[in-house]
Amino acid sequence: MNVLYIDIDSLRRDHLGCYGYHRDTSPVIDSLARDGIRFDNVYVSDVPCHPSRTALWSGRHGMRTGVVGHGGTACEPFREGPERAWAGTFYEEGWMRAMRDLDYHTTTISSFGERHGCWHWYAGFNEIINPGKAGMENADEVSALAIDWMQRNGSSKKWFLHVNVWDPHTPYRAPESFGNPFADKPIPEWMTKEVFEKSYAGYGPHSPQEPSGFDVKPGGSGYERMPSPISDMDRVKAWFNGYDTGILYADYHVGLIIEELKRQNLFEDTIIVIGADHGENLGELNVWGDHQTADEFTCNVPLIMHWPGAEKLRGVNRGLHYHFDWAATLIDRLGGSVPSLWDGQSFAPALEEAKDGGREFLVLSQGAWAAQRGVRFRFEKADWLMLRTYHDGFKDFGPVTLFNLSDDPHEQNDLSGSRADIVGRASRLLEDWRTGMNRRSDSDVDPLVTVMKEGGPFHCLGELPAYLERLRSTGREAAADALAGRHPAPPPRRKSLN
C-alpha cells in the first residue's frame, strides 16, 4: 500500500462538513471520511507550525526535542552532544526512517522547511520538492506538482507522499475567479453580535482592531477577503467567508489529486490521510485568523484516514490522541517498529477491536505567540481544558483559565474561579506530565522556560511599547494599564563592583 498524507495548514476540524459544519466546505474530504474513519479528538502536542511538524516527524514532545517556538533558542533542537548517531536522531529515530525501513520511497512537496528554517525536518526524505514560495503558493500550484510527481512515479515504487497545502492559512488569497461561494450562507451561530462587540472592545495581537498583528496597516490587509480592522458584522462574515473559501479551494485540489490516483488505478492501493499541522482560532480567546494559544481550536486538528480493505477502519473514533500517535499507528499497522525513543504510541490494537483507545489526558504546548500549556481531559462526563499561561503574549489571559468544552465549546466562560477542584486535578496532571518528560528527556531544560528567559514569545518580542501607545490612542487605556502592570520593565542590572 502507498501512503498519501495531505497536510492542510491551519485547518480547524469543525469547519469541515464531515465534522458537522453547516457550510459545504469539503465535499471531497467528506467523501473520504464516509468510506474511512474520522478521528474527533486528535491534538497537536506542540503548536504552531514549526513545533508541530517537528513533533510529528520526530515522534516526540517539544519538551524533549527543544523545539517549541518560531525563533530564538527554542526553535532549534537540543544539541545531541557526544552520543549523536551518524545521521542524528531526527533521521535515525524519525518517522521517515521508519517508513524507509518498510521499503517506502519518501517524498515531500512542501516549502515548510524553507519558510521556518526547519532543516532538521527534512531528515529521512528520499526526495524534497520545494514549491519555492515559502508558504505563499496556492493549492493549484501544489496540486500540479503532486499530480506531476504521481504521473512520473505512481506505479514505479512503493511510496509515502507528503503534500503540504497552505490554503486556508492567512492571508486568505483564493483566486478572485473562485468567487465568494458562501456569500449567502450564515456564519456559525455562536459568533453573535454580542460576542463580537465584546471581542472588539478587547485587545491582543490579531484581535479585531489589530487583525494582522499589533496594528492596522495603511490601506488595510491588502487582501479583499480580510478587511481590516474587523469593525462590524459584515467584516466578521468576510473573515469567515475568506477562511471557508480557502478550505473549499484546498478541498477542490485534493479532489484533483484523488482523481489522478483513480486514473492510475492506484486509489485502492493507497492509504489516504487528511490532517493538519494545527487548527485556527476565529474569534475564540479573541484571536482572529491565527494560532496563538494551546487551546482547543489551535491544537485540535482533523484526522481522516481512508484505508482500502480495512473494514475495521470505518466510522468515528473519539479517543484522546496526540497527532504523533497516528504516525506510530501507521508504522505499526504496516508491520514496522515504532522507535522506542518516541512519545507517540500506536493505537492500532484498539482499532482492531473497534475501540477508541487513546489517553487519559493530553498536554499541549504553545511557545511562539504565548508561553502556555493546555491540559485536555475528560472528567465528570465532561470535556475540560485548562490553560496554564506563563507569558500571555499581550492577550487578556490570567495565569490559569478553565473551560468546560462540553457546555462551552467556543471557550467563552472561564470557570477557574468557581471550579478549583477541576483546576487542581488539571494541575496535578500537568505536573505528572512534566515529571514524565523530565525522566525521558536527555536535557534538564524546559524550552518554554528558555522562551521566557529570552524575553517571551518570538512574535511578541519588542512589540509592547508601541502596542501600549496604540491601545491608549484607541480608547483602551484600561487594557494598556493592565498589560503594563503584568509586564513591567525589567530592573536595571547592577553595575559591577570592580
C-alpha to C-alpha distance for 310 and 2, rounded to whole angstroms: 14
Report the pLDDT value the prediction gives residue 295, as an integer from 0 to 100.
98
- The residue among 252, 251, 253, 227 whose CA lies nearest residue 240 is 227
Q: Tell me: domain 365-486, CATH 3.30.1120.10, correct?
A: yes
DSSP state, residue 188: P
- The residue among 40, 71, 149 whose CA lies nearest residue 367 is 71
Report the pLDDT value the prediction gives residue 82, as an integer from 0 to 100.
87
The yes-or-no verdict on residue 368 having pLDDT over 60 is: yes
Predicted confidence band at 219 (pLDDT cuts at 50, 70, 90)?
A: confident
Question: In the chain, which segments carry CATH 3.40.720.10?
Answer: 2-356
Q: pLDDT (tens digit, 9 = 90+) per residue, 152-174?
A: 998 999 999 999 999 999 999 99
Q: pLDDT (tens digit, 9 = 90+) per residue, 276-317?
A: 999 999 999 999 999 999 999 999 999 999 999 998 899 999
| DSSP string of 405-453, one letter each residue | TTT-TT-----TTT-HHHHHHHHHHHHHHHHHHHHH-S-S--HHHHHHH
Predicted confidence band at 493 (pLDDT cuts at 50, 70, 90)?
A: low
pTM, full prediction: 0.96
C-alpha to C-alpha distance for 347 and 39, rounded to whole angstroms: 12
Q: Which residue reads 526512517 in cell numbers?
A: 97
Strand partners, 376: 362, 385
291, three cell numbers:
494560532
Contact between 17 and 24 (Cβ < 8 Å): yes
Q: pLDDT (tens digit, 9 = 90+) per residue, 69-109?
A: 999 999 999 999 888 888 899 999 999 999 999 999 999 99
Q: Please, where are the H alpha helices in 59-162?
A: 62-65, 89-92, 95-101, 112-116, 139-153
Report the pLDDT value the prediction gives residue 77, as an integer from 0 to 100.
96
C-alpha to C-alpha distance for 160 and 163, rounded to whole angstroms: 10
DSSP state, residue 496: P
Number of other CB atoms surrounding residue 483 within 10 Å: 20
Predicted confidence band at 457 (pLDDT cuts at 50, 70, 90)?
A: very high
C-alpha to C-alpha distance for 378 and 360, rounded to whole angstroms: 8
How much is the mean pLDDT over the chain? 96
Query: Which fold, 2-356?
Result: Alkaline Phosphatase, subunit A (3.40.720)
Contact between 295 and 395 (Cβ < 8 Å): no
CA dihedral 71, 75, 80, 85 (to 10 degrees): -120
C-alpha to C-alpha distance for 436 and 397, rounded to whole angstroms: 27
Report the pLDDT value the prediction gives residue 498, as an integer from 0 to 100.
52
Which residues 6+ apart lie within 8 Å of 343 measured at CB? 45, 59, 60, 61, 64, 322, 324, 440
Across 298-360, the runs of DSSP E, i.e. the strands, are: 300-306, 315-317, 321-322
- The residue among 306, 254, 250, 264 whose CA lies nearest residue 150 is 264
Strand partners, 389: 372
Question: In the chain, which segments carry CATH 3.30.1120.10?
Answer: 365-486
114, three cell numbers:
524553507
φ and ψ at residue 322, rounded to 5 degrees: -80, 155
Q: pLDDT (tens digit, 9 = 90+) per residue, 323-361?
A: 999 999 999 999 999 999 999 999 999 999 999 999 999
The yes-or-no verdict on residue 494 having pLDDT over 70 is: no
Report the pLDDT value the prediction gives residue 497, as an integer from 0 to 100.
54
Maximum alpha-carbon separation in the chain: 78
Q: What is the dihedral sign for C-alpha 316, 318, 319, 320?
A: positive
Which residues 6+ apart lie within 8 Å of 263 measured at CB? none
